[in-house]
Amino acid sequence: MKRRGSTASKKPGAKRTKTRVSEKPHYLLRLYVTGQTPRSIKSVENLQRLCDKHLAGRFSLEVIDIYQQPALAAEGQIIAAPTLVKAMPLPLRRLVGDFSDAERVVLGLDLKKG
């Protein structure tokens, strides 16, 4: 007679492995600014604060001055500054502004609370 229900093996010495909960993704962010203007500085500060709060230990932030590195701005197709590009994880996202509206940034970067 066959038993129905559990399909788990109960062989002596069988090891159970825990299913690894997927790790939260690492974010690669590029912030394009125009020199050391007050707006650029405010953008960096606001974004750093948001990332520290929502992505602690899970982000890399590259700040690119488009005056000093115009080729990178052209390569990234940047037409306004400050512009934030979320390169990873996909999908790629772009946000423009000073990032003072935390809710807008969290939604724009598709960050999940928790």
> Which CATH number does the domain housing residue 87 bear?
3.40.30.10
Strands 27-33 and 83-88, how do they pair? antiparallel
Q: Would you say residue 5 lies in a domain?
A: no
Q: What average pLDDT is seen over the chain?
A: 84
Q: Would you say residue 90 lies in a domain?
A: yes
What domain range is 58 assigned to? 27-108
Confidence grade of residue 113 (pLDDT, cut at 50, 70, 90): low
Q: Would you say residue 56 lies in a domain?
A: yes
Q: Would you say residue 6 lies in a domain?
A: no
Q: Would you say residue 42 lies in a domain?
A: yes
C-alpha to C-alpha distances, 43 to 101, 102, 105, 108, nearest whole angstrom: 11, 12, 12, 15
Residue of 31, 30, 53, 51 lying closest to 98 (CA atoms): 31
pTM of the model: 0.76
Number of domains in the chain: 1
